[in-house]
Structures are given as structure tokens and as C-alpha cells.
Amino acid sequence: MKAVVLLSGGLDSSTVLYQAKALGLECYAISFDYQQRHRRELESAKAIASSAGVVEHQQVSFDLRAWGGSALTDSKIDLPQDRSVTEMAENIPVTYVPARNTIFLSFALAYAETIGADCVYIGVNALDYSGYPDCRPDYIEAMQSVFRLGTKQGREGIAIAIVTPLINLRKTEIIQLGNQLGVPWEKTWSCYAGEDLACGVCDSCQLRLAAFAQLGIPDPLSYAQSVI
Amino acid sequence: MKAVVLLSGGLDSSTVLYQAKALGLECYAISFDYQQRHRRELESAKAIASSAGVVEHQQVSFDLRAWGGSALTDSKIDLPQDRSVTEMAENIPVTYVPARNTIFLSFALAYAETIGADCVYIGVNALDYSGYPDCRPDYIEAMQSVFRLGTKQGREGIAIAIVTPLINLRKTEIIQLGNQLGVPWEKTWSCYAGEDLACGVCDSCQLRLAAFAQLGIPDPLSYAQSVI
């Protein structure tokens, strides 16, 4: 069985890749350079893909800065800092990139159909940082219909399945799962700021640090500052 | 009202753009350079966008040759030639590009949400050349659910609408509509081969030539050869 795995190089997608590997799937990773502020995550994606031993790792490049609309693609919009996990959950955050997962899943679908893959793995999570609309189960179901109806393979009755192993897990549970699977956390990257060291104060660093701290497990990354 | 219009520079998308303009919508065109064999259609898209007087014309670039899988993105796969319209309708043709409309609509969605557009116009057509799975009404409905559930705007109850004015029209009816709207056919481009002159024998040229001939209207383009 072949799986296409969406790989950003963060905790979640790295855990998903290691899980797909553990299940014995032939994994084809796909990453996206959309000129995101934290493009350096792509180096982590490469390192993780290589550690996990994927068959192939595709990187698709396009530029979402053309129309901006997100703190991750428009440097004029400041990244939120020092927010509690509760504050993050209250609204759709400015780090929301319009239609990002739809774009990512579309390319994954194209890749999957071309290589004859059976499924697409994506590390979306509807619990922590639940503000993103394109991480929720009903959205994934809608994309599943698109996978079925929008492809030759789906029309012939064998739709490519979207698999979301983390959708109902807390960040702490994801780290526990990743630990069991042997994910090399030191090779992952979560920070939105994209500097040499992880900032420690953006939403993504905060969530990561809070989860490691809650579990009493040391996070092997170095941080410029840490408020946890 | 603002509309994002998917514009390839062909007959169908040009007609759709002129229709959206005629309805008084502020039009934002979007075109895609995916390293297609017939990239020269992008020059036509520019000319049509300019003639129609769009507010903005975005061109998004990425490379679908990385994994191929279609005669339009893999020069090793020959374009079908000299097929009748009936033959074209029989199977999903080798010019099918896996998940292409899903990718295009995803970017259109991202653009539409960022600029606060009300709708996305796409010139899909389920009658002639009906082999493409991602041109059919049930597929468009599935994408509409994605537009509703995968965006901030949709979650707030104001989903961006996908509008498909040509979905049930024959190619001849599209040309009649375009004529009424004043589409400058001489600026459009349909040929898949992407040479200086339209080839006249690929599926796309054949469909176009057959429709113009059936209507007794001259096609203003020059063709390398014409079998109609």
C-alpha cells in the first residue's frame, strides 16, 4: 500500500509520517514552499523524510505572498506572541492562511492519483489551536467527497482515502504517540517566526512548549526565549 | 459584488469572464502557469483580462511536470490527434491532469477569501469533452461544501459561491453566448500543442473547429492544418 504524507516538518506531520511507516506503508512525502515566513521548516521536512526513509519526497513551490491575508505570508501582519492556549482557541487566528489545507490536499491528491497511492495522510488536529476551519472533521469529509468525485480513480470506485490519525488528539497525546514511534523531535521545527532559533513566544512555540512541559519531557530544540 | 474568475485564455473561460463583467461584477482574474505544454495560453489570458477590464489579474506558478501523469504535463505522452467528438467522449482522455480543477479552485478560493469576493466563476462544461471527472456537477457540489467548511468566511455563514454558467451548454451554445457578449475570439487560445499556430488536430482544436463550423461562423485563429 502506498501513502502520500503531507509533511511540514512539525511535530504533527512528523508523527503522522512515522505512524504511516510503522503500519508498513510505502510513504511518499510532499512539502510546500509557499514563501511562508517559516520556510526553514522545509529543512526539517527534508531531515524527517530522510530519517523515516520515504520512497520519494516532493516539494511543490508557489507564492502565496501575492495576495497575503495571513501573518504567515505577509510580513506586515505581526505574529501573535505570549498568548495562552485558551486565548489561541477563541478565534480564527491571524496565522490562518486562507484555503491552505485545501491547496495542500489538492496537490497531494494530484500526486496520489499519479503514483497510484491508496491514501493521503494529513496531521490535522481539531482540538488544540482549533481556530483553523480547515482542520475540522466536517471539512475533511467534504474534501473526501472531492477526492472521490474529482478523480479518475475515484470515479472508478476506488477513492483515495484521507487519513487523519491526529484529528482528535491533544498535543500532549501526539507527543506521547510520537515518542512511542521514535520521532526525532530534534529534527522537527514548529516556530512560525522562521529565525535561526525557535522564538518560544509565537502560538506554535507556546503550544509545543506547553505540551512538552505538561508531560515533563524535555524539548530538544533551543529557544531564543521561553515563557513556559 | 466581487468575483474571482478562473481564466485560461480559452473559449469557455473567456466567455465566463465576459458574462461576469456583463452582470456588473468587479472581476479578479486568476490564471495558472503549471508548466503546461500550451503555456502560451497565458498570453491569451492576459490579453482577454485586459480587454475585459478586470480589476486585477493574478498568475500563480507551480510545476506539475514533477510527477507528470498527463499528456499536458509530460511531453513523453503524445497528444491524441484527429479524434471525432464522439471518440473524445468515450473515456477519460490522456489530457486529463490529475486534480487540476481541484488545485485551480483551491487557489481561487484562497484569493477570493483574501479579497472578500462573493463568488468564483469557472467555465467547466459537462457536455462536450465530458471525460474529465472534475467538470461534472456532483464534483462542483463537493467543492462547494469545501468552500463553505474550509474557510473563515464560510464558517461565518457566508460561503463563497462557485458559479458554473456553462456547465450544461454545448460548445456551439457557448460560442453563441460569447458572440452576444462580444468576446474577442481572435485573442483566445485553445490548442493543447502550444506551438506558434494552433495545430488544428488535437482534441481541443477539433472541438473548437467543429463548433465554429457547425454554426457557420469563421474562427479568426490561424491553424497549421484543419481537418474539419
Interface size between A and B, measured as CB pairs under 8 A = 139
Question: Phi, psi at residue A30, to the nearest 5°?
Answer: -135, 130
Q: Is residue B19 part of a domain?
A: yes
CA distance A181 to A185: 11
Beta bridge partners of A29: A5, A57
Segment A137-149, tens digit of pLDDT:
999 999 999 999 9
Q: How confident is the model at residue B30 (pLDDT cuts 50, 70, 90)?
A: very high
Handedness of CA B146, A108, B63, B85 (dihedral sign): negative
What letter would DSSP give residue A64? G
DSSP A144-175: HHHHHHSSHHHHTT-PPEEE-TTTT--HHHHH
Q: Is residue A219 part of a domain?
A: no
Q: What is the mean pLDDT of chain B?
A: 93
Range of the domain at B49: 2-183
Q: Angle between the A11-22 and A41-52 helix axes, to the nearest 10 degrees? A: 10
Q: Is residue B63 part of a domain?
A: yes
A100 grid coordinates: 491552505
CA distance A10 to A213: 17
Q: Is residue B9 part of a domain?
A: yes
Q: Is residue B176 part of a domain?
A: yes
A114 to chain B: which residues are within 8 Å by CB?
Answer: 67-69, 98
| ipTM of the complex model | 0.94
Give yes or no for a contact between A226 and A213, defined as CB atoms under 8 angstroms apart.
no
Q: Please give the model's pTM, rounded to 2 decimal places.
A: 0.95
Looking at residue A79, its pLDDT comes to: 87
What does the longest C-alpha to C-alpha distance in chain B come to? 53
Rg (CA), chain A: 17
What is the domain-level CATH number for residue B160?
3.40.50.620
pLDDT in tens, chain A (228 residues): 999 999 999 999 999 999 999 999 999 999 999 999 899 999 999 999 999 999 999 999 999 998 888 888 888 888 888 887 777 776 778 888 899 999 999 999 999 999 999 999 999 998 876 678 999 999 999 999 999 999 988 988 889 999 999 999 999 999 999 999 999 999 999 999 989 999 999 989 999 999 999 999 999 999 997 665
Looking at residue B213, its pLDDT comes to: 96
Q: Is residue B221 part of a domain?
A: no
Contacts for B24-28 with beta carbons within 8 Å, 24 or more apart?
B25/B1, B25/B119, B26/B1, B26/B2, B26/B55, B27/B2, B27/B3, B27/B52, B27/B53, B27/B54, B27/B55, B28/B2, B28/B3, B28/B4, B28/B54, B28/B55, B28/B56, B28/B57, B28/B58, B28/B111, B28/B112, B28/B115, B28/B117
Q: Which of B2, B15, B9, B4 is nearest to B125 (CA)?
A: B15
Question: Phi, psi at residue A79, to the nearest 5°?
Answer: -75, 135
List, in sequence order, the alpha helices (H) in B23-170.
Answer: 41-52, 85-90, 100-115, 137-149, 152-155
Cβ-proximal residues to B202 (8 Å cutoff; 6+ apart), any chain: B79, B80, B81, B191, B192, B193
% residues pLDDT > 70 (chain B)? 97
Q: How confident is the model at residue B228 (pLDDT cuts 50, 70, 90)?
A: low
**Is the model's pLDDT at B220 over the cut of 60?**
yes
Beta bridge partners of A177: none
Find the closest chain A residue to B141 by CA distance.
Answer: A146
How far does B27 lie from chain A, in Å, by closest CA? 15
Find the closest chain B residue to A160 by CA distance.
Answer: B99
Looking at residue B132, its pLDDT comes to: 86
Give yes or no for a contact between B146 and A139, defined as CB atoms under 8 angstroms apart.
yes
The number of distinct structural domains making up chain B is 1
Segment B159-213, tens digit of pLDDT:
999 999 999 999 999 999 999 999 999 999 999 998 999 999 998 999 999 999 9
B106 to chain A: which residues are within 8 Å by CB?
Answer: 99, 102-103, 105-106
**Is the model's pLDDT at B124 over the cut of 70?**
yes
Cβ-proximal residues to A86 (8 Å cutoff; 6+ apart), any chain: none
DSSP B122-145: ----SSTTTT-GGGSHHHHHHHHH
CA distance B224 to B201: 9
Segment B39-91, tens digit of pLDDT:
999 999 999 999 999 999 999 999 999 888 888 888 888 888 888 777 777 67
Give yes or no for a contact between A162 and A140, defined as CB atoms under 8 angstroms apart.
yes
Q: Is residue A221 part of a domain?
A: no
**Is the model's pLDDT at B153 over the cut of 90?**
no
CA B31 to each of CA A38, A175, B122, B159: distance values in angstroms, whole numbers, following the listed order: 27, 41, 11, 22
**Is the model's pLDDT at B130 over the cut of 80?**
no
Find the closest chain A residue to B66 by CA distance.
Answer: A58
Find the closest chain A residue to B32 by CA distance.
Answer: A62
Q: Is residue A171 part of a domain?
A: yes
Chain A residues interacting with chain B (CB cutoff of 8 angstroms): 58, 60-64, 66-69, 92, 96-103, 105-107, 109-111, 113-115, 133-134, 136, 138-139, 142-143, 145-146, 148-152, 154-155
- Higher-pLDDT residue of A12, B157: A12
Query: What is the rounded average pLDDT of the residues B136-144?
Result: 96
Segment A64-115, tens digit of pLDDT:
998 888 888 888 888 888 887 777 776 778 888 899 999 999 999 999 999 9
